[in-house]
Amino acid sequence: MIDVRRLRLLRELSRLGTASAVAELYFLSPSAVSQQLATLEREVGVTLLRRIGRRLTLTAAGELLVKHADRILIDLERAEADLAAHQAELRGRVRIAAFPTASRLFMVPALTAAGREHPELTIAFEEMETHEAVEALRREDLDAAIIYEYEVLGPLSAPDLEIVTLFSEPLVLLVGQDETQRPTRLAELADRRWIAPRADTLCHAAFVAVCEAAGFTPRIDALTNDYLLTHNLVVGGLGVALVPTSGLVGMPVTLRSVALEDPGLMRRVCFASRIGGQRRPAIIRMFDTFLRLTEDYQDL
């Protein structure tokens, strides 16, 4: 009998390319990953891997099993979802994450509504950045997540996930009310000091990408993922910032936002779950809840 957990490791090796990367994803040692994959080979009785130097690569049989693994894991998700649909009442545990801004704006009303409408349903919430949530979904440490995609970076590469847009929002320039410059494009701000998201996030990658597309490398004097702190830094004259519209919530009157004409200044806020798992009644209900809570942002 093939162990499903080992199938997941093989699939992730195909995706990530190294046993070390798979080990990091699953919080294992590389040797533990190699041992599990060797056990999988013994289970199926076929050589799945070959070593080239220090690198493990898949044989033709390994590639074939990965294709089957994709279908098997999706079918397991669907089976669990179909069984959950036979419950008379929503119950059990749903693990969900959201990036900080979405957490601040939407999670409390979402959790409150779920507890009121479905008292037998337990929602476990954790704040995560998008890249963390995507990996947690793949590890099956999460059932769903609120994530973002930036137009300038393109859609996330996540063929094993169902990603549905809740709303799209423009990125706008944040300046002080006493700002004398009236920019219409990023290139006009090439010599300014910038407040940017932290370097370990997609937000930072998107910010740098739009600046480089405008022809300059931004001078970054402050890094923060906290939009309220970003507001205060701009008020203090420590730089200007590029923020999504949802990042304007709580903006003081001493600031103003400026729409720019550059292409690619758009972010999508999305609901993500594993393919197959999105059919679970509890996941459907959470999606409907977030769709309702984000209605005011859907016409931006």
Integer Cα distance of 17 and 13 in angstroms:
5
Per residue in 263-282, pLDDT tens? Answer: 999 999 999 999 887 778 88
Nearest 5°: the CA angle 244, 108, 153 is: 30
Beta-bridged to residue 255, according to DSSP, are 176
Taken in order of first residue, the domains within the chain and their CATH numbers are 4-84 (1.10.10.10), 94-162+273-297 (3.40.190.10), 168-266 (3.40.190.290)
Per residue in 227-255, pLDDT tens? Answer: 999 999 999 999 999 999 999 999 999 99
Alpha helices, DSSP H, located in the chain:
4-16, 19-26, 30-44, 60-84, 100-102, 108-117, 130-139, 202-213, 227-235, 281-293
Per residue in 76-95, pLDDT tens? Answer: 777 776 776 666 566 678 99
Task: Read off the pLDDT of each residue in 211-229 and give the average, rounded to a whole number.
Answer: 96
Is the four-CA dihedral 273, 122, 129, 26 of positive or negative sign? negative
**The two three-digit tokens of residue 210, written as one number:** 């739009």
User: Which of 115, 121, 130, 293 lies closest to 205 in space, CA to CA?
Assistant: 130
Confidence of residue 57 (pLDDT cuts 50, 70, 90): confident
Per residue in 111-124, pLDDT tens? Answer: 999 888 888 888 99
Classified as helix, coil or strand, 196 is: strand
User: What pLDDT, on a 0 to 100 scale, did the predictor assign at position 102?
Assistant: 96
pTM across the whole model:
0.76
